[in-house]
Amino acid sequence: MQAQLIDFYKAIEDSSAKMLEAARVKDWDGVVRHEGACAVLIEQLRYQSQEQELLPEQRREKTRIMQRILRNDAQIRCLAEPWLAQFEHMFEGQPQVMH
């Protein structure tokens, strides 16, 4: 049986929630792993959306799911900012490599 389009949105939301949980415990490798899973799901969603459409009630559910994903993303960014600043600080003063 073919997965419903809405199931891809739900799976992306689940991965987004897992990314947030990993960020809360400063498991940045976990964040990256779940981000990779999201990327795969998004590609599958893009492919499936060419063949399927959401029903009106599914479009409303999609909107709610997308809002939760965006909230998760905002929280992840807030949690990651100190880590990113520390990461950038490690490379300050090092010569830039030109490619």
Cα dihedral across residues 8, 23, 29, 71: positive or negative? positive
Query: What is Dmax (Cα atoms) for the chain?
Result: 56
- Output the pLDDT for position 81: 84
Interval 85-94: pLDDT, tens = 666 666 666 6
Residue 96: both structure tokens together = 């830039």
Residue 5: both structure tokens together = 């389009």
* The domain made up of 5-88 is a member of CATH 1.20.58.380: yes
Q: Where are the domains of the chain?
A: 5-88
Q: Confirm if 12 and 3 have CB atoms less than 8 A apart.
A: no
- Distance between CA 51 and CA 28 in Å, rounded? 35
Give this prediction's pTM.
0.80
Interval 47-89: pLDDT, tens = 999 999 999 999 999 999 999 999 999 999 999 887 666 666 6
Q: Around Cβ 37, how many Cβ atoms within 10 Å?
A: 16
